[in-house]
Each structure stands twice: as C-alpha cells, then as structure tokens.
C-alpha cells in the first residue's frame, strides 16, 4: 500500500469520517476484508488431462493465482507437436475467463528462446502455463535459454504463478522421468532419466499416474535418486506448491508421495538392468483434494495446523 501501514490508513480515515456515520463502520476487520489482497502466486504441477470444459477447477485456480482479470498469461506449448493448436486451446479458455493479456510463446527452435518480444512479455507477465506433449522436446528447446531461466527465477521468487500439465509437470524437478514402461516389477530398465528444468529441484514428478499404472516406474526412478521426494500425480489433479514450501492437492484424483528419506536399503547398484529392485523402509502417502504436505519437513500438515 505504497508504504502506508494499515494502522496509519485507519488513522487518516477516522480524521475525515465522523464516528457517528453508520454507513462507514471503520472496524479494522471490516476494512481488511474489503481491501484488495495481493495475488498469491504458486507453482502448479498438474498430472495431465485437467478439466477444460465443465468446472475447470485447476485452470480457474491458475487464472485466479495469476491475477484474475488482471492476469497477463504466457502459454508455452513447446512440448506439443502441434503447438499452435495446443496453445490456441488454452488461449480460448483464458480469454473466456477474462484474462487481460495472453501470449503464445511458441518456441520451436532453441534460438527462439532469446526472442526479445517474448522476453519482454515474460518479464511483465503474471502467469506462465506449460502445456503437455513430450517432456524431452520441452527440455531440449527451453533448457538454459534466457526465457526459461527468467521463468524459473520469477517462479522461484514468487513473482509469477507457473503451471505445467503432463509433460509440463514432468520437467519441474532437477531430475526428470523422460519415459519408461509399466505393468511389471520395479527395475532399472523400466524408467529413462534425464535432467529437467529444476523449478522445484528436490522433487521427482510422474504424471497420468494411477491412470497409466506408473507406480513401478516411479519406484524405479526413486531407486536411483534417493535424495529426492517422488510425487505421482493423477489426471485432473494438481499439487499446488506455495512459496512457504508446502503444497496442497486440488482436483479429482490423488497425489502419491514416495519418501525415501529413511530408506535402509536398495539393491540398485548390485543388480542387472531387468532384475527386480529391492527398496526397504520407504514412506508412502496418498493425498486427495484439500490435503496438504510440508516439503521441507517431509510430513503431512494436519487440518489443525492450517
């Protein structure tokens, strides 16, 4: 509020408004509820196939966290093989919601990652949305480009709301699941790992999780990254990371957390690529809509703590 404290503002108002005027009750709690609240940014990691037609809970949350009708949204469809069509679909959605400005940052070659017009928009935007597609393609085009580095920095500083769905979710960690299989026991060959964009470095994300039976794939990834917190996110579900190091689950499915922090043993280094893996003493949490988790303390936040 331009350096004026709430108490000082109240003092100024009471100087001009008679106490007897019942139309203006200057109760501090009343004024606080009426005053515009600052936009609370977040990093939204979406499991894919989010509702785009009916309630649009996750997309509406992104829109509001980006500033609502004042939102200036950059859509990055680089993971898609049809970026214009994919980006256009989200443009239509956020236009319908009433965003102030929307720009498709259509990076199709690495040199586009330093486009000055897009850099200017990224510097001024309030929200960035990374669409689904191929996470290897997304990282190959964006990693270490000026535009992506600025997106990452602004998201980590809490200056913008950043969302990624499907492939856009997979890239959030420093280590990334690039691909793999399902339907068998956890083993080294079941998952392909590479470097992600490092938005939330301490997590390892898998998406379309229960919908595509990816538990064994996530466990295979954990075995080679025992310092990470592994998160599997179902479709139409989001892990929304706040600036205080906690996240909340929103949407229709669940978020599965595999915490290897107290693991006592894995045979990862001793077995062949297709041999089954042993992983002892993992901690498992299944979170649904409204549940919260503290990333730093690695524990569930009970409703009494909220």
Q: What span, in angstroms and rounded, lies between the C-alpha atoms of 138 and 194?
A: 12
The closest of 179, 187, 178, 266 to 227, measured between CA atoms, is 266
Residue 250 in tokens: 């929103």
**Whether residue 184 lies in the annotated active site:** yes
Q: Which of 149, 184, 202, 242 is catalytic?
A: 184
Q: Which of 66, 78, 166, 220 is catalytic?
A: 166
Check: CB of residue 58 under 8 Å from CB of residue 44.
yes
Name the phi and psi angles at 193, rounded to 5. Answer: -115, 150
**Whether residue 5 lies in the annotated active site:** no
72: left (phi over 0), alpha (psi -120 to 50) or beta: beta
Q: What span, in angstroms and rounded, lies between the C-alpha atoms of 279 and 257?
A: 15
**Whether residue 54 lies in the annotated active site:** no
Q: Which of 66, 208, 220, 235 is catalytic?
A: 208
Residues annotated as catalytic are: 166, 184, 208
């Amino acid at each position: 509020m331009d350096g004026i404290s709430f108490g000082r503002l109240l003092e100024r108002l009471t100087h001009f408004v008679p106490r007897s005027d019942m139309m203006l009750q200057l109760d501090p709690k009343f004024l606080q509820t009426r005053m515009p609240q600052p936009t609370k940014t977040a990093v939204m990691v979406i499991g894919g196939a989010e509702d785009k037609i009916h309630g649009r809970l996750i997309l509406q949350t992104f829109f509001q966290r980006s500033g609502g009708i004042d939102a200036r949204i950059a859509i990055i469809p680089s993971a898609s093989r049809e970026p214009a069509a994919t980006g256009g679909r989200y443009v239509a959605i956020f236009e319908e919601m009433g965003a102030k400005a929307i720009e498709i940052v259509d990076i199709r070659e690495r040199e586009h990652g330093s486009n000055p017009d897009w850099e200017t928009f990224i510097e001024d935007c309030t929200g960035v949305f990374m669409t689904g597609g191929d996470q290897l393609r997304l990282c190959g085009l964006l990693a270490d480009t000026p535009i992506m580095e600025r997106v990452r920095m602004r998201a980590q500083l809490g200056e913008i709301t950043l969302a990624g769905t499907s492939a856009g979710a997979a890239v959030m960690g420093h280590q990334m699941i690039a691909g793999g299989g399902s339907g068998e026991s956890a083993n080294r060959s079941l998952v392909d790992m590479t470097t992600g964009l490092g938005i939330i470095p301490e997590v390892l994300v898998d998406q379309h999780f229960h919908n595509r039976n990816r538990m064994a794939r996530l466990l295979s990834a954990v075995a080679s990254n025992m310092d990470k917190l592994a998160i599997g996110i179902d479709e139409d579900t989001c892990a929304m990371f706040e600036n205080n190091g906690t996240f909340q689950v929103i949407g229709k499915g669940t978020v599965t957390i595999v915490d290897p922090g107290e693991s006592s043993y894995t045979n990862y280094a001793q077995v062949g690529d297709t041999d089954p893996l042993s992983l002892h003493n993992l901690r498992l949490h299944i979170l649904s809509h409204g549940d919260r988790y503290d990333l730093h303390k690695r524990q569930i936040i009970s409703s009494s703590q909220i």
